[in-house]
């Protein structure tokens, strides 16, 4: 099928952007689990195409190991936790929290046998994991979640998203979809047409949208007391890292002078952790700086937000199914519009990072690495 000039240009532009086939970026901290999910029960979770075993030591410290027994690949998540060691359910090899084998029941010597362990770090409601080069696992590189450090009230949740993490990041940088995908929850018709600014740098991508004046949807109107008032809704989408996006929003009554406005802000951390090319662990940590003592406000906002985010899960899955079906065809293209400026820059960044990392891995492994393996950027 022949393409129009605009479609052809879009097709060429797409090749510079990350998509479901772009390799994963390993040298980043990702969230492996919510703090409350990891216990003395062995659990496995696929992260960046690797099965990871998660559990807590007796003193509560979280541990992450490769879920595959080094002997004959039995899943350690179907094995036994004995004190701080895992005993494989097949032939009984025993591993400590560093992944070192400390017992082979059929022989007296087990030195040198080990499986991979991953650095982990618990931060409030989430547990971060480092899937990349162990020597680069610096706690200083864990991206900040300010709502956890400022005494705000927070709640957290998890969703299983059947779509590449790339498209979740894109969704979050383009909130024009609030007027349509979220028309029945927290979107308003004026959202898509509102003025916006972008701030694009080498590795950080922000889009600020000014919906003023507007009427707030119930999730924000009720707890802020701004029902039936002409209000401002100013939202910043902030791509912090491949593992974290934070949406900041402030709300106020536009009839009040700046000095009279109560400080009413929310920050929602959207935390995509790639499971596979087409599946993402979607963690959410939501925080607010008002109505701090009111548990019913927490419950109300949490329930309303999760209902809205579920619309993203359903919408992105539909997008993913389309891309899976048509993404490899010769006439596939994605046309970008002005509102996509930040997300296009972000997707180019993800692709550059992923390809640079891949080239480094291949060089380290001594594999042949010709320039033709890389897509020009
Ligand atoms: S497969 Fe684990 S001990 Fe044999
Ligand atoms: Fe959304």
Q: What is the pLDDT of residues 75-129, one digit of tens each?
A: 999 999 999 999 999 999 999 999 999 999 999 999 899 999 999 999 999 999 9
Q: Tell me the two tokens of residue 269.
A: 């951390």
Residues in contact with ligand 1 (CB, 6 Å cut-off): 69, 71-72, 74, 88, 90-93
Structural element, H or E, at residue 46: strand 43-47
Question: Which atom number of ligand 1 is nearest to the Cα of residue 91?
Answer: 3
- The superfamily CATH assigns to domain 151-343 is Naphthalene 1,2-dioxygenase Alpha Subunit; Chain A, domain 1 (3.90.380.10)
Ligand nearest to the CA of 181: 2
Measured in whole angstroms, how far is the alpha carbon of residue 36 from the centre of its chain?
18
Instruction: Write down the residue that tokens 């296009």 correspond to.
Output: 344
* pLDDT computed for residue 367 by the predictor: 60
CA nearest ligand 1 atom 3, residue? 91
CA nearest ligand 1 atom 4, residue? 91
Ligand nearest to the CA of 180: 2
Q: From the CA of 318, how far away is ligand 2's center (Å)?
A: 14
Q: Closest Cα to residue 150, out of 258, 304, 31, 292?
A: 292
CA nearest ligand 1 atom 1, residue? 72
Q: To test the ligand 1 pocket, which listed residue (78, 85, 88) has its Cβ within 8 A of the most ligand atoms?
A: 88
Q: Tell me the two tokens of residue 302.
A: 């949490």
Fold classification of 31-140 is Rieske Iron-sulfur Protein (2.102.10)
Question: Which atom number of ligand 1 is nearest to the Cα of residue 69?
Answer: 2
Question: Which atom number of ligand 1 is nearest to the Cα of residue 73?
Answer: 1
Measured in whole angstroms, how far is the alpha carbon of residue 282 from the centre of its chain?
6
pLDDT tens sequence for the chain (377 residues)? 689 999 999 999 999 999 999 999 999 999 999 999 999 999 999 999 999 999 999 999 999 999 999 999 999 999 999 999 999 999 999 999 999 999 999 999 998 999 999 999 999 999 999 999 999 999 999 999 999 988 899 999 999 999 999 999 999 999 999 999 999 999 999 999 999 999 999 999 999 999 999 999 999 999 999 999 999 999 999 999 999 999 999 999 999 999 999 999 999 999 999 999 999 999 999 999 999 999 999 999 999 999 999 999 999 999 999 999 999 999 999 999 999 999 999 999 999 999 999 999 999 888 654 444 444 33
Peptide bond into 352 cis (omega under 30): no
Question: Which atom number of ligand 1 is nearest to the Cα of residue 104?
Answer: 3
Ligand nearest to the CA of 104: 1
Q: Closest Cα to residue 345, out of 25, 16, 11?
A: 16
Question: Which atom number of ligand 1 is nearest to the Cα of residue 72?
Answer: 1
**Which residues on neighbouring strands pair with residue 120, listed in sequence order?**
129
Q: From the CA of 340, how far away is ligand 2's center (Å)?
A: 15
Contact predicate 117/131, CB 8 Å: no
* pLDDT computed for residue 374 by the predictor: 40
* pLDDT computed for residue 373 by the predictor: 41
Domain locations in the chain as residue ranges: 31-140, 151-343
Ligand nearest to the CA of 80: 1
Q: From the CA of 99, how far away is ligand 1's center (Å)?
A: 14
Within 10 A of 350 (CB to CB), how many other CB atoms are there?
23
């Amino acid at each position: 099928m022949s393409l129009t000039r605009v479609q052809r240009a879009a097709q060429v532009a797409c090749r510079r952007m990350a998509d479901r086939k772009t390799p994963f970026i390993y040298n980043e901290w990702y969230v492996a689990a919510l703090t409350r999910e990891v216990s003395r029960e062995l659990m496995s979770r696929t992260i960046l195409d690797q099965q990871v075993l998660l559990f807590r030591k007796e003193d509560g410290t979280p541990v992450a190991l490769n879920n595959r027994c080094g002997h004959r690949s039995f899943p350690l998540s179907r094995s036994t936790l004995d004190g701080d060691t895992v005993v494989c359910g097949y032939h009984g090899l025993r591993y400590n929290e560093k992944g070192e084998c400390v017992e082979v029941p059929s022989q007296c010597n087990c030195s040198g046998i080990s499986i991979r362990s991953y650095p982990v770090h618990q931060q409030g409601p989430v547990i971060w994991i480092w899937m990349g080069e162990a020597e680069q696992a610096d706690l200083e590189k864990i991206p900040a979640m300010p709502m956890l450090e400022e005494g705000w009230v927070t709640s957290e949740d998890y969703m299983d998203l059947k779509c590449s993490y790339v498209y979740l990041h894109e969704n979050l940088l383009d909130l024009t979809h609030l007027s349509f995908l979220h028309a029945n929850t927290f979107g308003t018709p004026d959202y898509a047409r509102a003025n916006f600014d972008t701030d694009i740098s080498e590795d950080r991508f922000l889009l600020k949208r000014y919906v003023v004046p507007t009427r707030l949807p119930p999730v924000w109107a009720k707890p802020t007391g701004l029902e039936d008032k002409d209000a401002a809704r100013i939202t910043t989408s902030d791509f912090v890292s491949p593992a974290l996006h934070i949406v900041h929003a402030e709300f106020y009554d536009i009839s009040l002078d700046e000095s009279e406005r109560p400080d009413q802000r929310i920050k929602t951390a959207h935390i995509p952790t790639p499971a596979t090319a087409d599946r993402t662990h979607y963690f959410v940590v939501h925080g607010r700086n008002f109505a701090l003592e009111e548990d019913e406000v927490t419950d109300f906002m949490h329930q309303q937000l999760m209902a809205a985010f579920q619309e993203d899960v359903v919408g992105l899955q539909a997008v993913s199914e389309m891309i899976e079906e048509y993404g490899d065809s010769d006439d596939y293209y994605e046309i970008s519009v002005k509102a996509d400026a930040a997300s296009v820059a972000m997707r180019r960044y993800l692709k550059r990072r992923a390809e640079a990392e891949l080239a480094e891995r291949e060089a380290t492994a001594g594999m042949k690495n010709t320039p033709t393996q890389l897509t020009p950027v």
